[in-house]
Structure 1
Amino acid sequence: MTNLAIIGGGAAGAAVFGALLARDVDDTVHWVAGDAAPAGHGVAYSTQEEHHLLNVRASGMGLYLDADEDFAAFSAQQRAGAKPTDFLPRRLFGHYVESQLRKRMHAAGQRQRDFRVHARQACSIRPTSQGYTITLDDGTALTAQRVVLALGALDARPLRTVTATALDSGVYVMDPWTLTSQPLSPRRLTVIGTGLTAVDTLISASKRWPDAELIAVSRHGLLPFTHPELPITPFPHQAEINASLLDCNGPAQVLATIRGVFAAHQDIDWRSVIDGLRPINAKLWQGFDARQRRQFLRHVRWIWESSRHRLAPESAETLQQLRDEGRLHIHSARVLAVDGKGPLSITLRSRATQRITRMESDVVVQATGLDTAVAFAKSPLLAKLLKSGLVVADPLQLGLLAQADGRLIGENGDVHHSLYAIGSLLRGNLWECTAMPEIREAADKLATLLATAHPEPSPLINA
């Protein structure tokens, strides 16, 4: 009998865990889910705010490819009038994850499928002749022949332009999800960032402090675009477009080709074309060399993120109402400095005019989105893995160096045949790997691989 271990208590870890439980093989599955309750929610689905909405329709959400019950059906039971085309609260998906996990664990228990859930944090992973020894924060040592890192979002790092004084002030908020639970009463609140996390932050702040002035600032000042109210018809020539894009040499040609499609088909909804790229997004990214990837990150990423990861219509309407009322102002500028003990002084350089201005804000919230720079992460586990050479940071700081199937690569260039990752740690290889449609497909493939693979000793054991 062998042991499999999944480290990480978010939705990605839950997806791999449940997919493994559904497979009848002679092994024990250990899920090191952390001490945050309930397991499976992670940061994304732990929010209890009703206005924090999914940016995927209910019909597109799920935890497993072979779900016991799809999310749309679950939602209809939980909320009167909920439809498959709705963008529902993220907390509701968290409840769905719990429901799916309970069903999988119950069914596994009925079949005497062996598994353990550990409500602890993993502190270290050490290669041995038997596979890996995983040490938990209570001193427990687990032995596993195959290990999956499903660590999810890393803790945000302060921007380099924020002084230590501002960080110590108590009014520079690093974790946007804790904002409305803090004893603050701002007259002006500034959010650094204009992506999906920033949108949730702004909407929450507007409801908690209805008299506060809200400001959002980012380099391009671009909010996410908006999903249509109802699903749109797929672009009829998507297959030909995708084939053409896969023949492009770098992001500049990709962008020019997409713009050419929009120019030639002005009667279509551009969102149908962008959505139709989903099956080839990873292949496009993998076709870029290191220089082209840097080019994408520098020049294209901002517009891609806004176009690809769009807002639910209800969220977009709320933002527009705030802007129409004069409560919300969006600035396209670079943050040059944040300093002070409160109110904080923010120095900005306008993108349009290059003019430098300063303003004061009672509270500043950093909501700059996903951080994948593992080399700078606060995680003790990642720090030890990197120091040991068992894993290596992606050269563009997009997670860990890995192959497309999730197998991690060590500092000597060897591919581990029994150490895997899923989710945001694979962004350097897959780019699009953090949304649930991609995660549940990856989890299913990984579970199949783990259930059939024969583990090999780590190349570092005798190094």
Structure 2
Amino acid sequence: MTSLPPQEFTSVARAEAPLDENRGFACHVLIIGGGASGTLMALHLLNASPNMRVTVIEKSALLGCGIAYSTTDPGHLLNTRVHNMSAYPDRPEHFRDWLRQSGMAPGATDESFVGRQIYGRYLNDLIARERDLPEVSRLRCVKDECLRLEETPKAVIAHLGDGTCIRGDRAILATGHAVPVQSHAVLTSGWDFTPPADPGQPVVIIGTGLSMIDHLITLLRNGHRGTITCVSRRGLLPQVHTETKPMAISRGHVPLGAPVSAILHWMRGLAADAERQGGTWRDAVDGIRAHVSAIWRAWPEAERRRFLRHAASFWEVHRHRVPPDSARWLQEARDRGQLRILRGRFEEATMGEDGLIAVRIRTAGGERVLPAGRAVDCRGIRRDPAKDSAPVIQDLLARGQSRLDPLKLGIDTNEWAQVLLADGRPSRRLFAIGPCARGAAWEITAIPDIRVQCAELARHLHAIEAQEPVGVSRG
């Protein structure tokens, strides 16, 4: 498998109609962000009603890719099987059929794990088809960055980086993960996969999750010969996918509102039941998945904090598993002594006089200094959304037009994805989906969860518009 050439993708840039042209549609929705979340949201809005018009505002040149699916390394695989990656939850065969018909993976089955860059191509293709319809398209794509959203009694106005404005009836924030500002000058960003100049030098990776797996695979595929040391507080590694048959768990059997300790006890009991029936703990975890958001919402803030502090890391390595091929790279590197995993807390990284980076960590045995030709920050996505989020979100926070959730995982929303103002009131016209609003549902970072959220919000907005006069915001 080779990387897809850039020209294979459809660019955001194109000749656009005047930004204030309404074309007579009942509702005009602005989507801020054209990565996976924004693309899925656009597709579901267009599918929900023929009277919806959608404008996607995306600063990069490609739609549908975002951070995760813009990788150029074919060794970076989806961590979810093909049958769970359709853009449409009610059409599980859609992605598989596209893989076969497009020629991207003619032999793909429901159980396959395909390259992430291919999934980016899938989303890009779906949105391009909607945009390039021969009749009047209901989708417009604007290549720019939204810096500010202004909500008025009759509309919401997006202020773009080039000084222009776009007016809509609703706006949906779909800016994805907050990309952390690199506070350590000598650390390489977890999203930078440029191979080291010297393949023989040692590499230190801070973090042992999915991002670490990506970096490890890229290093090894590029012929890296030096040692690779990965450090995290618990030293936990993502578990490996095997055959699974998710347990059927009804909502009535979920102990909603029970404390974290009781929920974990219940989960262990389900895992034991699965094993007694000839399966594995994976059957229980995958069966619980549909109820995670309900469990999270039922917890008070104190229990949510307790889960994040004591159990989240363990849950994530079991919930977000890696394909067997990805696990094989890791295991083979460990077997030959090239890769080692350490438990320790990252303290600092400084450039030494010998030209190597000194990575200082604290372990149970005391302080250690690890020499590295490159040190990569793969500490995951739980960062500071107040400073790492997109400019439009930072502006909303600064003006009190949004607030962070109590745990500071992202902007605060209610169950209908409405953005909550600083005083807790829901905005009438601003919504947020996906990772940028993680605090409301917790499990909203993977495609199977995001697509469901998008479908539900699209239906909700369609129902709202059906109850309001057509053109209510045309003032």
Give the TM-score taking structure 1 as reference length. Answer: 0.89
The question of 1:250 aligning with 2:259 is answered: yes
Aligned ranges 1:6-405 → 2 under 5 Å: 6-34=31-59, 36-65=60-89, 70-76=94-100, 77-107=103-133, 109-110=134-135, 112-158=136-182, 162=184, 167=185, 169=186, 172-174=187-189, 176-180=190-194, 183=197, 185=199, 187-228=201-242, 231-235=243-247, 238-239=248-249, 243-247=252-256, 249-263=258-272, 266-267=275-276, 268-340=279-351, 342-350=355-363, 353-371=364-382, 373-377=384-388, 379-405=390-416
Assess, with a 3 A threshold, how the Cα gap between structure 1 residues 181 and 101 changes in structure 2: closer, same or farther: farther
Amino acid paired to 1:452: A
Q: Deviations over 1:159-184 (max 9, x none)?
A: 6xx4xxxx1x4xx202x332225645
**Which residue of 2 is the match for residue 460 of structure 1?**
none
Q: Distance in 2 between matches of 1:72 and 1:312?
A: 17
Amino acid paired to 1:338: A
- Shift of the alpha carbon at 1:254? 0.7
Q: Deviations over 1:299-351 (max 9, x none)?
A: 0011001000001011001100010011111001111222225411112222x
Q: Deviations over 1:425-463 (max 9, x none)?
A: 22111000111111111111112222332499xxxxxxx
- Shift of the alpha carbon at 1:278? 1.2
Q: Deviations over 1:96-133 (max 9, x none)?
A: 112211232344x53x3533210111011112233221
Q: 5+ residue gaps in structure 1?
A: 457-463
- Shift of the alpha carbon at 1:65? 3.8
Q: Name the SS for the 2:427 alignment partner.
A: strand
Q: Distance in 2 between matches of 1:411 and 1:248?
A: 26
Q: Is the 8 A contact 1:399 1:428 kept in 2?
A: yes
Aligned ranges 1:377-456 → 2 under 5 Å: 377=388, 379-454=390-465
Q: Distance in 2 between matches of 1:318 and 1:179?
A: 17
Q: Deviations over 1:5-56 (max 9, x none)?
A: 000010110011122223444353211122x222111111111211100011
Q: Name the SS for the 1:330 alignment partner.
A: strand
Q: Deviations over 1:383-433 (max 9, x none)?
A: 211011110011111111111221110011111122101101221110001
Q: Is the 8 A contact 1:5 1:148 kept in 2?
A: yes
Q: Distance in 1 between matches of 2:331 and 2:464?
A: 52
Q: Distance in 1 between matches of 2:139 and 2:92?
A: 19
Q: Name the SS for the 2:396 alignment partner.
A: helix
Amino acid paired to 1:143: R
Q: Name the SS for the 2:393 alignment partner.
A: helix
Q: Deviations over 1:261-308 (max 9, x none)?
A: 334554330000000001110011111111111100010011001000
Amino acid paired to 1:401: D
Q: Name the SS for the 2:191 alignment partner.
A: helix
- Shift of the alpha carbon at 1:361? 0.9
Amino acid paired to 2:104: Q
Assess, with a 3 A threshold, how the Cα gap between structure 1 residues 21 and 265 changes in structure 2: closer, same or farther: closer
Assess, with a 3 A threshold, how the Cα gap between structure 1 residues 278 and 372 changes in structure 2: closer, same or farther: same
Assess, with a 3 A threshold, how the Cα gap between structure 1 residues 131 and 184 changes in structure 2: closer, same or farther: farther
Q: Distance in 1 between matches of 2:440 and 2:219?
A: 36
Q: Is the 8 A contact 2:34 2:64 kept in 1?
A: yes
**Which residue of 2 is the match for residue 461 of structure 1?**
none
Q: Distance in 2 between matches of 1:300 and 1:23?
A: 38
Identity across matched positions, percent: 29
Structure 1 runs of 4+ with >6 Å offset: none
Q: Is the 8 A contact 1:246 1:283 kept in 2?
A: no
Q: 5+ residue gaps in structure 2?
A: 1-25, 469-475
Q: Distance in 1 between matches of 2:85 and 2:414?
A: 26
Give the TM-score taking structure 2 as reference length. Answer: 0.86
Amino acid paired to 1:81: G
